[in-house]
Structure 1
Amino acid sequence: MSTNGTTPAEGSGLRKLKILMLHGYTQSGPSFNSKTKALTKLLARQFHLSHPVYPGGIQLLYPTAPIPLLPADIPGYTPSSDPSLAPTDAYGWWKRETGGARYAGIEKGLDTIATTIREAGGIDGVIGFSQGACAAYFVASLLEANRESAFALQCVKNPSEAIPYPSSFTVLKQQLHHPPLKFCISYSGFYAPYDGYAAFYTPPLKTRILHVIGSLDTVVEEHRSMALVEASEEGSREVCYHPGGHFVPMGKEFGNVAVGFMVKCLDEKKPVAEESVEDMDLPF
């Protein structure tokens, strides 16, 4: 299930700025769409129909994670005598295995994301919240050049735990010749400590990434978010704190920080001599 948020240029055939929006644990594509309406408006205003590079406006992709969650899977849930009060529309990209650091269903979650990207004809960037921010980093990492070699190396070094490069992303790269993303934005993101996921983080992410951290976030503690920051190349990362908890800050001030970061990433030009075929600005 996928929900698209677009500007009125949908169907025009003109090039759009395509952004993948990944919701958090216990959310869904539609619920995340609803929670990010303010950011959507700022983006639509910035990337309007007269934008020279994206004359088709923006297209926001809001897929829903493939793993439905039971009430018992939801942190802090207290059973009620009234079944109608049980939470619904709650999904995850994976579930953490009891007593361990492995993620059950991670392959299924990544397959759903790869399918969304492929059906959209590719994306320019990704934005994620909480578990979705962890997944957003994974996506940016998987779409970098030579990441397959990092996974192959980890499978040799740690054959009992390391996961292989996801086949769904191999197909995605082959079919679309997908270049690395132009940007990634992580809201309340965190590092996955399981050794089997080391290839996502080693070598560090080169893609431009903005880490937005809530100074009062008690769900994802700061040290977990900072571990993700440290897994991004120093010259490619930025960090922004907001004075709140575990949510995507939708005030104009912090919305403009995100939009400004995207504009900066999209406006950057590499010297012609350094630009490879994979780095070219392809018309997805």
Structure 2
Amino acid sequence: MFSLPRLPSLQVSFKFPYLPSLRRLYHTAGSPILDTMTKGTPIPDGNAKKLKILMLHGYTQSGPLFHDKTRSLEKLLIKSLKPVVPTFTYPTAPIRLVPADIPGFDREKAETDNLDAWGWWKRETGGDKYIGLEQGLDSIAQAIKEVDGIDAVIGFSQGAAAAMMVASLLQPSRSSFFPAPSEARFGFPPSWNRLPALHPNGLKFAVSYSGFMTPNAMYKGFYEPKISCRTLHFIGSLDSVVEESRCLALMGACEEAMATKVVHPGGHFVPVGKEMGGLLVGFVRESIKQEEDEKEKSVEDMDVPF
């Protein structure tokens, strides 16, 4: 049982201008990473400080769809984080969903069963075991390798649950806390064995929009010990898909001092308005600053031979 931190909701408003162009990395299942640039975006020089962000979509979505829904957040981050240059990777989950996998889907109105709907895993009928989770994590690992590592991760719904798994898996020494794999225990995924070397200090931050964690003890390796990177948890006050208690359970699996909660007055979606976008920008800025301060402190504390 995880203890749930009682943190106040943030109600701070920021105002930032929007940028008419953006830089992003684009990835879909089964295809290579494409480095695309929209007209008018300045090309960063080799000395520019980059911030590589992995973007994980929700259940029934895809990488392209999630990009469409978060485009304004991209523009806001690119504009507001200068001179840091953020890039965004949007993988599509590997598990193609059929109408029977989607609650409330009206199959009679569907023109085809070949839907552009994807998942990182499927939950077993009547249970809480995640079918295909290793396949989903393998796909995410491949996306991370293709961009030579990431700095941060942002996810929505099932993608937010996966995002926190990513933050956990890239945490130093996390593999030692996973049990040997068995029918009752999920082991450290082999496809991730070399990825922590690309992230010796873990991630700078992870952001969850309507995220959740599984109550199934077979996955406790992801959550014990608690996720240690800075985390931001957006919770919809009217969300009827992922209840607040599930979001708080995920938050409780993160170190309390590193976790921040934001409640928005909406349902199951990514809030992209200026107020909520401003809170995201403020969190990202603080995460970057904290890392820089820690690096500066470590240099000051170094033993010198004179």
Cα pair 1:128 1:136 within 8 Å, conserved: yes
In structure 2, do the counterparts of structure 1 residues 82 and 32 end up closer, same or farther at CA, with 3 Å as the change threshold? Answer: closer
For 2:142, give the aligned amino acid: T
For 2:191, give the aligned amino acid: S
Q: CA deviation at 1:259?
A: 1.1
RMSD, aligned CA:
2.2
Counterpart in the other structure of 2:186: 163
Q: CA deviation at 1:173?
A: 2.8
How does the TM-score come out when normalised to structure 2?
Answer: 0.80
1:35 to 61, 66, 69: 69
In structure 2, do the counterparts of structure 1 residues 119 and 214 end up closer, same or farther at CA, with 3 Å as the change threshold? Answer: same
The answer to whether residue 262 in structure 2 is matched with residue 240 in structure 1 is: yes
Q: Residues 1-284 of structure 1: matches in 2 within 5 Å?
A: 1=28, 8-9=41-42, 12-13=45-46, 14-48=48-82, 51=83, 54=84, 57-80=85-108, 83-84=111-112, 88-151=115-178, 154-155=179-180, 160-174=183-197, 176=198, 178-268=200-290, 269-270=293-294, 271-272=297-298
Give secondary structure in 2 for the equivalent of 1:219: coil
Give secondary structure in 2 for the equivalent of 1:17: strand
Q: CA deviation at 1:81?
A: 5.1
Give secondary structure in 2 for the equivalent of 1:128: strand
Write the deviation string for residues 106-148 of structure 1: whole angstroms up to 9, x where unpaired.
Answer: 0011011111111101111000000000000000000001111
Distance (Å, rounded) in 2 between the aligned partners of 1:98 and 1:230:
26
In structure 2, do the counterparts of structure 1 residues 11 and 259 end up closer, same or farther at CA, with 3 Å as the change threshold? Answer: closer
Distance (Å, rounded) in 2 between the aligned partners of 1:274 and 1:117:
32
Write the deviation string for residues 44-102 of structure 1: whole angstroms up to 9, x where unpaired.
Answer: 10133xx1xx3xx2210000000000011111101225525x67210000000112111
Q: CA deviation at 1:253?
A: 0.1
Distance (Å, rounded) in 2 between the aligned partners of 1:265 and 1:83:
46
For 2:267, give the aligned amino acid: G
Give secondary structure in 1 for the equivalent of 2:262: strand
Instruction: Extract unaligned runs of 5+ from structure 2.
Output: 1-27
Work out the percentage of aligned pairs sharing the same amino acid: 50
Write the deviation string for residues 223-277 of structure 1: whole angstroms up to 9, x where unpaired.
Answer: 111111111111010000000000000110001111110110010122317999x
Distance (Å, rounded) in 2 between the aligned partners of 1:184 and 1:139:
9
Greater helix share, structure number: 1
Cα pair 2:171 2:196 within 8 Å, conserved: no
Cα pair 1:21 1:127 within 8 Å, conserved: yes
Instruction: Extract unaligned runs of 5+ from structure 1.
Output: 277-284
Distance (Å, rounded) in 2 between the aligned partners of 1:81 and 1:266:
48
Task: Report how many residues are paired.
Answer: 264
